[in-house]
Amino acid sequence: MTDTPSGLHPAAFTRANNDPDPEFYAGRSDSTQMDAGARTAVTALYQTALPASGVILDLMAGTLSHLPEESAHDTVIGLDVNGAALEANKSLTQRVVQDINEKPRIDLPDSSLDAVCLCDGFAYLTDPVAILTEINRLLRPGAPLIVTFSDNFIPQKAVALWQALEPADRTRLITLLLDRAGLTDLDTGEVVPPEDLTAWNDTVHAVIGRKKLTA
């Protein structure tokens, strides 16, 4: 069997549940596997890593975009397989119902986005290089892709490789695939819950890459 474009075996991106994603997620009420503390940490990251204004794409957005309340972006586009979840997301100004595993191409112009956020979704991408390459097409030069995740995931839909890796190796996988897709200035980090906050248990891992600046 041949490798995927990422150089990894195709079986790495198989899933236990092969039901169509729109059908599977329509029956779920949870939009994220992160607890409240972790979601707050993602918002804090967005405060420092997102541009102050412009056009933002929240990929696999669900009901929560984790954007700071004071954010003043001109446009926040949410893309998800679950239309009802997008309607419940009050941060969005535009909504796109799409299964990016089935259709990685996103109907937006080249270099039209000031940032892309992917929170709690990387585990479920069955062809991540194709999707990351599409994100790279859409970003303006120098604009960031911000990937965040916790150690929790939906086992029926997370790909086999993700489930086999430890968190640090998941971060390394993401950086490898962002590099393969042409993103640069890669940066990683994590936020560990403080011991005195019992309501926050989930470590947040982050990887940021940027579209290469034009010469």
What pLDDT score was predicted for residue 5?
A: 55
Q: Is residue 41 helix, strand or coil?
A: helix
Helix axes 167-180 and 128-138, enclosed angle (nearest 10) = 60
Stated pTM of the model? 0.93
What pLDDT score was predicted for residue 72?
A: 82
Instruction: Let me know: does 122 contact 45? Beta carbons within 8 Å.
Output: no
- Burial level of 118, CB count in 10 A (0-12/13-18/19+)? buried
Non-local CB neighbours of 18 within 8 Å, separated by 6+ positions:
none
pLDDT of the chain, 215 residues: tens digit per residue: 345 655 677 789 999 999 999 999 887 766 678 888 889 999 999 999 999 899 999 999 999 999 998 888 889 999 999 999 999 999 999 999 999 999 999 999 999 999 999 999 999 999 999 999 999 999 999 999 999 999 999 999 999 999 999 999 999 999 999 999 999 999 999 998 887 767 788 899 999 999 999 75
What pLDDT score was predicted for residue 173?
A: 96
Cβ neighbours around 42 below 10 Å, total: 25
Instruction: Let me know: does 208 contact 183? Beta carbons within 8 Å.
Output: no
Q: Is residue 136 helix, strand or coil?
A: helix
What pLDDT score was predicted for residue 35?
A: 85
pLDDT tens-digit readout, 9-49: 778 999 999 999 999 988 776 667 888 888 999 999 999 99
